[in-house]
Structures are given as C-alpha cells and as structure tokens.
Structure 1
Amino acid sequence: MHWSHSFYERQDALTGCYHSPIHPFHTALAARITAHRGRAGSLLELGAGGGQFATCAALLGHQVTALDLRARAGEQTRSLAVQHGVTVQTLTGDFYTLDPGGPFDTVCYWDGFGIGEDADQRFLLSRIARWLAPGGTAYVEVDTPWYWAGHAGFTQRTEGYTRTYGFDAEGCRMLDTYAPTDEDPFTQSLRCYSPADLRLLLPGTGLTLAEVWPGGSYDPEAGVYHPEVSLGEAMTFAAVLTPA
C-alpha cells in the first residue's frame, strides 16, 4: 500500500486536524481565489480534507465538488457544510484514477502536491488540464525545497506523539514523520519544487504557469505561522496554472 493511503487517516486520528473549524486562513484563501477569478463558478477541490476551504468557497457562491481519498473526509465535509448552511458535493477516491466530472471553472489542490515522482506530477497536471473549462484556472500549492531543507531536524514532542521534520536532499523531498507512543512511525513524503522546477514539468501537460503566489512560513520553534513572507522564506507557493 502506498503511504498516502494510510498517512492522512492516521494523522487525523492522532491530531484531529481534519475536524478543526474553519480558520480565517480558509476564509481569506477562498476570498482571494474568488476575487482572482472575478466571480463564483464550478470549483473542484482535490484532497479536500475536512472541507474547511470547500465550505468557505461554497459560502461565496461556488458550486463545489470536494474530492478526497478518505471516506471519512466526505462525511466531515458534508457535516461542516451543513453547519454553515451550504451544500458541497463530495467524492471519495484517488484523483489519479477517479473521474470527478466537470469541466470546472476552478481546480484547487492545497497541501499534498508532490506525491510520487515527477511522472506522477505530470500525469496529474495533465488530468487537471482536462478538467478545466475554457478560461479556467488551477491553483496548486507546492512545497519549497529551501524551507524543508532549512528546518530538517526540528522535533515537536507532545503527550501522544513526536513529530519530526526531515528533508531528502537527493530526492528533493520533504519528510513529515509522526511517531505515536507505542506505535510504528508513519511519514509523509512530498516532492518539493521551485517555480523553475515546476516549469520543467509543464510541457505536454496542457498547462502553463501564469503566476506564483508565495505562501506563508511556519516557525516551528515558536509555533507561529507568518501568513505573508517573501518567496525565498515561504514553505509553499501557490502555482496559478492556466491552459497552455
């Protein structure tokens, strides 16, 4: 079994991360996407997790389809949407194989791009291009190599688990390892890209990199997230992708 088929379920069971309420970050992100698109429309979110962003997008008038590998994610998303008086369509499956329908005006993928190797990324980007409606835009969050290389070795200890950041320099991959008390550790491993690296993936996918939005930076020692930093300090960036 690929690590992604168990990691997120175990992470949620350990931390409850997908049960968290909507954060102002989700609200601001949905507002930014809506403003950039100029209007609400049909929106597909890949790896929707607990549905926080999907619900915020629905609140702004988007017709949202939320796709996630975990069956429980759909339940969490629908519950959160109902709490806020909106409807989100949910799909369960692997977005490397499942067809979510469409076309969609907007496709979003936050926190998770980089599973597998470069060929897997090209394959997924090609699928996203086919899912986009004419004039559509995709927003894909990408981990930066410099952040993860600079923070490798950080360890957070809690009552129930230890979490450690790592970086595979040869493979250019971030490593996020949880070691629960009295259980085997489990690790998320995502390929990191600079904008220049990402551009090398795009030929033949049907997409082009239109803009780069620097993400924030998490200071693990202080436990503080800085939402606005320069690209050279950012832990991620959002790749704004349009049909080539």
Structure 2
Amino acid sequence: MHWSHSFYERQNALIDCYHAPIHPVHTALAARVTGHRGQPGTLLELGAGGGQFAVAAALAGHDVTALELMTGAGEHTRRLAAQHGTTVRTLTADFYTADPGGPFNAVCYWDGFGIGEDDEQRHLLSRVAGWLAAGGTAYVDVYTPWYWAHHAGFTRRTERYTQTYGFDADGCRMLDTYAPSGEEPFTQSLRCYSPADLRLLLPGTGLSLAEVWPGGAYDPRAGVYHPEVPLGECMMYVAVLEPA
C-alpha cells in the first residue's frame, strides 16, 4: 500500500487536523480564489481533508465538490457545511482514478501535491486540465526545495509524538516524519519543485503556469507561522495554472 493511503489517517489520529473548525486562513484563501476568478463558480477541491476550505468556498458562493481519500472525511465536511447553512458535494475516492464530474471553473489542491514521482504528477495535472471548464483555473500548492533543505533536522516533541522535518536531496523531496510514543514512525514524502522545475514538468499536461503566489513559512525556532513571505523563503507557493 502506498504511504499516502495511511499517512493522513494516522496524522489525523494524532493531531485531529481534519476535525477542526474553519480557520480565517480558509476564508481568506476562498476569498482570494473568488477574487482572482472574478465571481463564484463550480469548484473542485482535491484532497479536501475535513472540508474547511470547501465549506469556506461554498460560503463564498461556489458550487463545491470535495474529493478526499480518507474514510469519514466527507461526513465531517457535510456536517461542517450544515453547521454553516450551506452544502458541499463530497466524494471519497483516489483522485488519480476518480471521476468527480465537471467541468469546473476552478480546481484547488492545497498542501499535498507531489505525492508520487514526476510521471504521476504529470498524470494528475493532465486530469486537472481535463476537469477545467473553458477559461478555468487550477490553484495548486507546491512545496519548495529551499525551505525544506534549510530546515531539515528540525524536531518538535510533544507528549504523544515526535515530529521531524527532513529533506531527500537526491530526490528533491520534503520529509515530514511522526514518531508516536511506542509506535513505528510514519513519513510524508512530497516532491518539491521550484517554479522553474514546475514549468519543465508542465509540457504535455495541457496546463501552463500563469502566476506564482508566494505562501507562508513556519519558523521552527520561534514556533511562529508567517502567512506570507518572499518566494525565496516560503515553504510552499500557489501555482496558478491555466489551460495551455
């Protein structure tokens, strides 16, 4: 079984990240996508987790489909939507093989791109291109190699687990390892791409890189997350992709 089929469920069991309420970050991101698009429309979120962004997007007026692999995440998304007086269509499936319908005016993939190798990324991006409506836009979080190379070795210790950042320099992959007390550690491994690397990945996918939105950075020493920093310092950026 691929690591991604168990990592997120085990991570959620430790830190309960998918059962959280909507954070102002989700609301701000939904507003930014809506402003960039010019108006709400049909929106597909890949790897939707507990649905916090999906519900924020629905509240901004979008007709949202939330696709997530983790069992039970769709139920939480629907409950969260009901609490806020809106609705979100949910699908529990692997987005490398699922058929979410469409076309969509926007496809969003936050905090997870790079699960496989380059060919798998190209396959997924080709699928995204096929899901987009004419004039549609995809918004994809992409991890940067410079942040993870610089912060490799950072360790956070809690009563329940130890978390360690790493970087595979040969494979250009970020490594995020959780070691629960008394259990075997488990690791998330995502391919990192600079914007130049991403441009080399895109030919043949049907997408082109229109814009780069620098994201935030976590300062491990200070324990503070800065929501927006210069591109050369951020842990990830949003690749704004349009049909080629």
TM-score by length of 1: 0.99
Q: Deviations over 1:60-94 (max 9, x none)?
A: 11000000001211111111111111100000010
Q: Deviations over 1:136-194 (max 9, x none)?
A: 00000000000000000000000000000000000000000000001110000000000
Question: How far did residue 221 of structure 1 move?
Answer: 2.1
Gaps of 5+ in 1: none
Q: 1:124 — aligned with what?
A: 124
Q: SS state of the match for residue 139, structure 2?
A: strand
- Kindly report which structure 2 residues correspond to 1:205-244, keeping only aligned pairs within 5 A, or say none: 205-244=205-244
What is the identity, as a one-letter code, of the residue corresponding to 2:31? A
User: What is the aligned-residue identity percentage?
Assistant: 79
Q: SS state of the match for residue 33, structure 2?
A: helix
Alignment length (residue pairs): 244
Aligned equivalents of 1:124 and 1:143: distance in 2?
16
Q: 2:194 — aligned with what?
A: 194
Q: Deviations over 1:73-120 (max 9, x none)?
A: 111111111111110000001000011000000000000000110000
What is the identity, as a one-letter code, of the residue corresponding to 1:42? T
Greater shift, 222-231 or 111-120, is seen at: 222-231
Aligned equivalents of 1:105 and 1:8: distance in 2?
28
Q: SS state of the match for residue 222, structure 1?
A: coil
Asked whether 1:98 is paired with 2:101, we answer no
Q: 1:48 — aligned with what?
A: 48
Q: SS state of the match for residue 231, structure 1?
A: coil
- Kindly report which structure 2 residues correspond to 1:103-182, keeping only aligned pairs within 5 A, or say none: 103-182=103-182
Gaps of 5+ in 2: none
- Kindly report which structure 2 residues correspond to 1:12-51, keeping only aligned pairs within 5 A, or say none: 12-51=12-51
Aligned equivalents of 2:82 and 2:149: distance in 1?
41
Aligned equivalents of 2:152 and 2:76: distance in 1?
32
- TM-align CA RMSD: 0.5
Q: Deviations over 1:35-73 (max 9, x none)?
A: 000000000000000111000000011000000001211
What is the identity, as a one-letter code, of the residue corresponding to 2:100? P
Instruction: Kindly report structure 1 stretches of 4+ aligned residues shifted beyond 6 Å.
Output: none
Aligned equivalents of 2:73 and 2:224: distance in 1?
27
Greater shift, 184-193 or 215-224, is seen at: 215-224
Asked whether 1:63 is paired with 2:63, we answer yes
Aligned equivalents of 1:83 and 1:138: distance in 2?
28
